[in-house]
Amino acid sequence: MNTWRPNTVEEAKRLGWRKLSGAKDNYHQQGQGNENNQKWVSPSGKCEVVYDSTGQNIVTDPVNMGTYNFFPDTEPMNHLNYDVLPYIRWGNSPDDPTKWYQRILGTY
C-alpha cells in the first residue's frame, strides 16, 4: 500500500511532503544508528517515507520503515485507533522483530 516514495528528502520537499519530528517520528528511530532518521508524510498524510540522517537513503528495515496510514495525523483519534494502536500490537510488518513494549518505550 505504501509502494511509491520520493527517493530523497529534496524530492520529498519538491513534491509537498512534510517532515514530522518529535513524538511523531519516534517510532521510526528504533535501535542504535537510527536516532536521526527523518519521517516524511505525503500531502494526504497517508503515505510515509523514512530517510536516514543524510536524507539520501530510504530506510527499509522492518522496524523503522515508513508505512501506510489509514488516517493522517491531522485526524488524531482515527490515526491513533487505526494506525498507531495496530502498530503497537503487531509492528510494522510480519518481519518486525520488536515486542509491543519495545515499540512503546523505544527500547529496541
> pLDDT-derived band of residue 8, with 50, 70 and 90 as boundaries?
very high
User: Would you say residue 56 has pLDDT above 70?
Assistant: yes
pTM of the model: 0.91
Q: Which residues contact 40 (CB under 8 A, 6 or more apart)?
A: 6, 9, 12, 17, 18, 19, 20, 48, 49, 50, 51, 66
Give the length of the chain: 108
For the chain, the domains span: 9-105
pLDDT of residue 1: 61
The residue to which cell 528528502 is assigned: 9
Question: What is the structure's pLDDT at 63?
Answer: 96
Q: What one-character DSSP code corresponds to residue 10?
A: H
Q: pLDDT tens digit string along 28-54?
A: 999 999 999 999 999 999 999 999 999
* CA–CA dist 25, 6 (Å, integer): 17
Q: At 33, is the secondary structure helix, strand, or coil?
A: coil
Q: Is the pLDDT of residue 25 over 90?
A: no
Q: What is the pLDDT of residues 60-103, one digit of tens each?
A: 999 999 999 999 999 999 999 999 999 999 999 999 999 999 99
Phi/psi class of residue 103: alpha, beta or left (left: φ > 0; alpha: ψ in -120 to 50)? alpha
